[in-house]
Amino acid sequence: MKILAVDTATKSCSVAIVEKESIIAETTLFIEQTHSKHLMEMIDTVLHLSGLTVSELDGFAVTRGPGSFTGLRIGISSIKGFAMASGKPVVGVSSLDSLAMQCCFSSYLVSPLLDARKEEVYFSRYRFENGYLKKELGEHAISPVQAVCDINEPCLFVGDGARIYKNKIKDQIGDLAHFAPPYQNTIRASTVAYLSMAKFEINDTDDNSLFAPNYIRKCWAEFNS
């Protein structure tokens, strides 16, 4: 099974083609420009590097949120277009699940934090049991202090929110706070593809016509309307 996956949930943009457990091609860009300027070129690049055409793919995966409102719309609309044109299925993957999976060897509680602006983070909590990701808390948008205030055991934080609010987190829970290496704070499209595989295998795919971002909270335009 060959899956093309895209992540545009944060300031980074990542595209990969994965076959089963092998990464065929992957490219990730971190630049202060809208993803719409680079995403299609990046998709063309991984297709060229892999030697595959869209018709040879079995499906598409994309982060559905939470994350940047604009970024999510760009990634999801692009993948929906490919899925509609090719007739191939699509699977949406949580951006927080993706970050947690990138810390799958941790014996600690894992809490991905994504910058939600307005002095808030998107967060959840996970454990890895026998190599499987277990979600222990739903996804929320909340202040970084509130996101960690009830933690009473060692916890590994990952994501741009963990980087931005590192000092506040350490002030709140002290030595219980551990932080992933900087390179793990960026969502990789290959991780998104890997997480989508289980759903593709049981045909638990999303309805392309109904597929929409998971914003968790309203955007500024909705707040001010």
Q: What is the pLDDT of residues 78-111, one digit of tens each?
A: 999 999 999 999 999 999 999 999 998 899 999 9
Distance (Å, whole) CA 106 – CA 71 = 29
CATH architecture assigned to 103-185 = 2-Layer Sandwich (3.30)
Q: Are the C-beta atoms of residues 15 and 190 closer than 8 Å to each other?
A: no
Question: Residue 225 — pLDDT band, cuts 50, 70, 90?
Answer: very low
Q: What is the pLDDT of residues 131-178, one digit of tens each?
A: 789 999 999 999 999 999 999 999 999 999 999 999 999 999 999 999
Residues facing 89 on adjacent strands: none
Q: Which CATH class is domain 2-95+187-223?
A: alpha beta
Position 224 scores a pLDDT of 35
pTM: 0.93
Q: List all residues 6 or more positions away from 48 whose beta carbon is below 8 Å from its beta carbon.
A: none
Domain ranges of the chain: 2-95+187-223, 103-185
Distance (Å, whole) CA 83 – CA 135 = 28
